[in-house]
Amino acid sequence: MCLILCVSLGLQAQERQATTRADECITIFNDVVRQVDVNYVDTLNYEALTETAINAMLKKIDPYTVYYPKKNDRELRMLTTGKYGGIGSIIQQRPRPSTKGQRTKDKVSKDSLWTYAVNPYEGKPAQRAGILAGDRILSVDGVSTKGQTVSEVSNNLRGVPGTTVVLEIEREGVKKPFKVEIVREDIHLEPVTYSALFTADSLAEPVGYIAFSEFTEGSAQDFTNTLDELYYNQGARKLIVDLRGNGGGMVDEALKIVNLFVEQGQTVVETKGKTSKSYRIYRTTARPRYAELPLVILVDKNSASASEIVAGALQDMKRATLVGQRTFGKGLVQNVRNVAFGGHLKVTTSKYYLPSGRCIQAIDYSEQQKGHQLKKDTAGGILPDIVMEDSAKVDICYSLYINHYFFDYATHYHRQHDSIAHPKTFTLSDEEIEDFCRFLDERGFSYETETSKFFDDMLKMAKHEDIDSATISKLEALGPMLKPDFREAIRRNIDEVKEMLGTEIVLRYYYQKGQAAYQLRFDKELKRALGELK
């Protein structure tokens, strides 16, 4: 009893000390604001200054503790529900497409960025109104997009469902800009982005596949409905769940999905934090629907939070085999608190711990703030049972992708072709690849490797240093060998070029689900997962 009382008194003393320090800091801040208000030469925007101060403070804590002023309520709503009032299209800003002789390496200014619709969602208002991927958005409700950030343009596109927004569009092949009226809707992004049934002689039994993108309100029910369809109506007797790129969301939705596969009363995850209120154990509450269904889960470095709870818990329980790369390592729990004048604070209150006791979190931000060097073994995240090498590499495809040449050619291709084959059979011909090369030549594309950039800098330095002329000549002779012809580089990487270019083209005709069907044809992790389920 004495020990408990001492601990309790000690905690109370710590809380009082922390409160005193916070009060002192708030007093200092308020005094600075008052002094500026009285003495500064010009009138200031105190709302903007306060928001900047809050954001700078929270940035020092962790990336997930965020302040949402009342004006950003829509953004918070979308994060928690997956819904927002808008047109249903991803937009992107980038420099204008280059033409031969007009390429520049100068720093891109804000005013020179163009805003594009890059991914209209099938069946949503933008797509139904005729917006195409590759359309340039010149203005929104008469306000030019020039000089605006992508966030500002996005906010202008969003609004109350049922209201109309007018976009001025510029499209390749159409001589003059034109206007499109779109009625905003309550946009709900489907958490199950794609599902399929794989059947082959080598599989013995049909395998269901579900790509799951986010754990938003009601998403577990969507997942369950899809699985029921695959199992009862299509005959799936094994399952692959694809959580790659899934950034997480609501832990209650993750709990429901785990409960589909494990017995009632199992501990799925615990949360531990500073206060007793932050400690919680999440257990399965119902009998499982698919307790015996063989299961493989695909994960990657962008699988985070609730994705890691599902994958890690099922791995700890020996209920699923994980295939892919180590997950992101986001094991921090956020709760939303109300703040003054209608704002909200999404604040980290605790950490996630899996049934085995391991913490998902990758980085100790308190140690990082102190300037401590983090060890490599603090990687965090979930290590798959079968680790697949990350196929991303810096080559011709990387250069073509980041400079938007795949995107631009797909826009050009779509204008030239009314239709293409189904995503499960579509393949680019050698003639079409040659047409792509001509397109690159017309746009002035020059393939410059990172090695050649480094070499150019080294050669400049060598000429300024005490290097003899004979050595300089040898270095100059080596230069052309490090600058490959882009056609030759495309031939060396032809399979990857066809895959990435085809992915962008298929999106123009079959939208997101068609794109997913096409990409799975080349998916090494999926092939390995199917092999595990044989």
8 A C-beta contact, residue 336 and residue 346:
yes
pLDDT digits (tens, 9 = 90+) for 11-55: 455 555 656 788 898 899 899 989 988 899 998 888 888 899 999
Which residues, in sequence order, are CB contacts of 464 under 8 Å at separation 6+? none
Say yes or no to pLDDT of 476 above 50.
Answer: yes
HEC letters along 4-15? HHHHHHHHHHHH
Is the pLDDT at 98 greater than 70? The verdict is no
Mean pLDDT, residues 252-268 taken together:
97
Q: List the single range of 136-140, 337-341, 364-368 with lowest mean pLDDT.
A: 364-368
Give pLDDT, residue 364: 58
DSSP conformation letters of 327-352 = -----EEEEEEE-GGG-EEEEEEEEE
Min mean pLDDT across 39-53, 93-107, 372-386, 466-480 is at 93-107
pLDDT score at 7: 40
Per DSSP bridges, beta strands 280-283 and 267-273 are antiparallel
Burial class (CB in 10 A: 0-12, 13-18, 19+), 132: middle
What is the predicted pLDDT for the residue at 454? 76
213, 219, 221, 226 alpha-carbon torsion, rounded to 10°: -20
What is the domain class of 83-188 according to CATH? mainly beta
- Cα–Cα nearest to 215, from 273, 269, 287, 281: 269
Q: What are the domain boundaries of the chain?
A: 83-188, 192-387, 396-447+486-532, 450-482
Rounded Cα distance, 214 and 307, in Å: 8
Query: pLDDT tens digit string along 307-320?
Result: 999 999 999 999 99
* 522: its two tokens: 């080349």
Q: Please report the pLDDT score of residue 76 as a whole number.
A: 76
Give the SS3 label for residue 213: coil
pLDDT tens figures, 166-197: 999 999 999 999 999 999 998 888 999 999 99
Query: Which class in CATH covers the domain with range 192-387?
Result: alpha beta
Stretch 75-89: mean pLDDT, rounded? 78
Q: Scanning the structure block, which residue is given the tokens 């020092």?
A: 60
Maximum Cα–Cα distance across the chain: 86
DSSP 8-state symbol, 160: S
